[in-house]
Chains A and B, each alone.
Chain A
Amino acid sequence: MRVILIGGSKTVYFLARGFVQRRYHVTIINRDPVRSRELAQTTKATVVLGEGTDINRLEEAGARQADILLALTSKDQDNLIACQIAQRKFGIPRTIALVNDPENEAVFKQLGVQMAFSATRIIASIIEQETDFDDITNMMSLAQGRVNIIDVRLDKDSPAIGKTLTELELTDNALIACIIRNNVMIVPRGLTRLEVNDHLLLISDPQHQKQNLIVLTGHYT
């Protein structure tokens, strides 16, 4: 696996180190001479000094043979152009960009970047989820946000207590995959009755998540 990283942040450093350990061939492109020397000494990656959107520097970094390019600078425009040149000029099959303005996530995808992620949006959504639900302790997002897996605890006020699963009015795209009761896992059937302190593993699409949580906990905010 041949990886090109653009940028000089801590993220670039830790990714480079991790990739080198996995025996990937790693090249970093960084514009700052001092930081470049540091990265070369601490990561065992090859470091090319220059701009990640400079075609000659990309060539030097082995863009023709690269399998994946990650553009991780603090400038959205530089990350976008690096990914586009990587694809169009060098045919790198996978490109990933960091975006700062959350709105640019969708823009980048529309402009051909395969994966764009916004740290701002990820952190904001973590905080939102933490403050919204006390009884929801854990949440995982899969398939680029199209599926959520949520751990819901039923407290004594939950409207779902005493009901069977078939009596719950969950939406079509939702499923209770498992119940944890007194630390024992139960695979639920339609007639399984819910009790106080049950932990439910709910699988839902984000669009209907709110509605399903109301069915299980009685509240949303």
Chain B
Amino acid sequence: MAQSKHIIVVGCGRLGGLLATRLSHSGHKIVVIDKREAAFDKLSADFSGFRFVGDVTELSILRQADIEHADYLFAVTTLDNTNLMVAQVARHIFHVPHVVARVFDPLREAVYCDFGIQTISPTKLALENFMSCVL
């Protein structure tokens, strides 16, 4: 495997929990952040990264997660605005090289996809899949 990366996963819901667990299996240094401690139940027992309770809209929390040295940040909380804010802060304030945000609202995603933030819209992906079932 290539060099181990420092990866921050923001939001430990269904997607965040799976993502963090899988990434930790491939030998990367993972920090997962969530507002609620109970959210970490979503991580599997063999998750080997760090858990961190805090509000990611505060700069000091991101610093504590060592964002200055992060190679990747994935913003996958359930709130579009939180994901878009933390992604922009990571990219433009802390200069994290690779940043991806989950954005449910396709209209909002369209505003941000051309502003240096990579976005993934589950709504759009699901829509395309459903449509391909029909045609």
Contacts and interface: CB of A to CB of B under 8 A. Distances in A.
Q: Do A and B bind each other?
A: yes
A101 B55 CA distance: 11
Interface in A84-104: 84-85, 88-89, 101, 103-104
Interface in B97-128: 105, 107-108, 111, 115
A110 B92 contact: yes
- Chain B: number of interface residues, binned into ranges: 20 to 34
Contacts of A56: 107
B82 interface: yes
B108 A81 contact: yes
Interface residues of A, number: 20
Contact of A76 (B57, B88, B107, B115): B57
Contacts of A53: 80-81, 108
Contact of A103 (B58, B81, B82, B84): B58
A55 interface: yes
Given A77-B84, A77-B85, A101 B107 contact: no
A185 interface: no
A78 B81 contact: yes
A104 B59 contact: yes
A191 B115 CA distance: 59
Contacts of B88: 80, 111
A86 to B, nearest CB: 10
A75 interface: yes
B60 interface: yes
B89 interface: yes
B93 A107 contact: yes
A131 B79 CA distance: 41
Given A53-B80, A88-B115, A104 B57 contact: yes
Nearest to A80: B85
B59 A101 contact: yes
A145 B89 CA distance: 24
Nearest to B85: A77
B82 A77 contact: yes
A139 B89 CA distance: 34
B135 to A, nearest CB: 27
Contacts of B58: 101, 103
Given A55-B108, A55-B111, A103-B58, A77 B93 contact: no
A111 B87 CA distance: 11
B111 A101 contact: no
16 contacts: A56-B107, A75-B81, A76-B85, A77-B79, A77-B82, A77-B84, A81-B81, A81-B84, A81-B85, A85-B111, A101-B58, A101-B59, A104-B59, A107-B89, A110-B92, A110-B93
